[in-house]
Amino acid sequence: MLGPEFSIYLPPHRAVYIDIAKVASSSLKATFALLLKLDLQAVGGNPHALEFPRPPESIHDGKRLYPGLYTFAFVRNPWDRMVSCYRDKIRHEAGGFTSFSSSGVAHCLATFDEFTAGMSFESFVHAVASIPDADADEHFRSQHPYLTDDLGGVAIDFVGRYENLQDDFRHVAETIGLPSQTVLPRLQVAASSVNYTDYYTQETQRVVASRFCEDIERFAYQFKN
């Protein structure tokens, strides 16, 4: 279970959003910024530059994350998430709020020697696989540690899916009483859509399956053409 720095408190709705990078994080945070009346213009529209309210200090009671509050998060197919991270942080394809270091990779990856400008997707996959979750950047850290208790059980109320984002967000909105006109903007997306499976060889498919095996098993994801 990770710390409160990845949690956004929505006091009017007695709810907590658990922020997982590369899972519509920009869109969700921008939406909650507006709901909380935070000044997006002051940070150039970048929701990641805002200081969001954090939940009360009582993080969990051994079984539940933030007991007494409605907790939710969204997860994504790990093979797809890896492609999204590569296109954004290495290939500069997403635009938006990603800033790049002088080395040519996104600042968040520049501290790792394993990442280089223009590296192939195959090299990127092997680089990620060489870095354990304990040392990983949030953009390629496994997703389950955000949502599970010390025994590995899911400790939040609702786990939505990126693949069903609009419907699952609507479920959350109705559950916590967001205004009926609340919609998610499309932010930090690449200019062109791709089929993530086209990036993979059998070897890189296997490497990602091994690196993110707990996410794949827990959230029942498959590699699909």
Q: Which amino acid is at 19?
A: D
What letter would DSSP give residue 100?
Answer: B
87, 110: one domain:
yes
Counted domains in the chain:
2
Do both 161 and 185 map to the same domain?
A: yes
Identify whether residues 102 and 58 lie together within a single domain.
no
> Does residue 64 share a domain with residue 5?
yes
CA separation (Å) from 100 to 3, 11, 156? 26, 34, 34
For residues 20 and 117, membership in a common domain is answered with no
Both 24 and 53 in one domain: the answer is yes
Residues 147 and 61 in one domain: yes
Give the contacts of 161 (CB within 8 A, at least 6 positions apart): 74, 75, 76, 168, 219
pLDDT of residue 1: 57
Backbone torsions φ then ψ of 205, nearest 5 degrees: -60, -40
DSSP 188-203: S--SS---GGGG--HH
Same domain, 10 and 65: yes
What residues make up the domain containing 108? Answer: 78-141+195-225
pLDDT tens string for the chain (225 positions)? 566 678 999 999 999 999 999 999 999 999 999 999 999 999 988 999 999 999 986 666 667 889 899 999 999 999 999 999 999 999 988 777 777 788 889 999 999 999 999 999 999 999 999 999 999 999 999 999 999 887 788 899 999 999 999 999 999 999 999 988 888 877 767 667 899 999 999 999 999 999 999 999 999 999 986
Cα–Cα distance for residue pair 88/109, rounded to 1 Å: 11
Residues 86 and 182 in one domain: no
- Looking at the fold, whether 133 and 209 belong to one and the same domain comes out as yes
156 and 128 in a single domain? The answer is no
Burial per residue of 168-196, b for 16 or more beta-carbon CB atoms within 10 angstroms, e otherwise: bbbebbeebebeeeeebeebbbbeeeeeb
Nearest residue to 21 (alpha-carbon basis) of 91, 92, 98: 98
Do 153 and 135 fall within a single domain? no
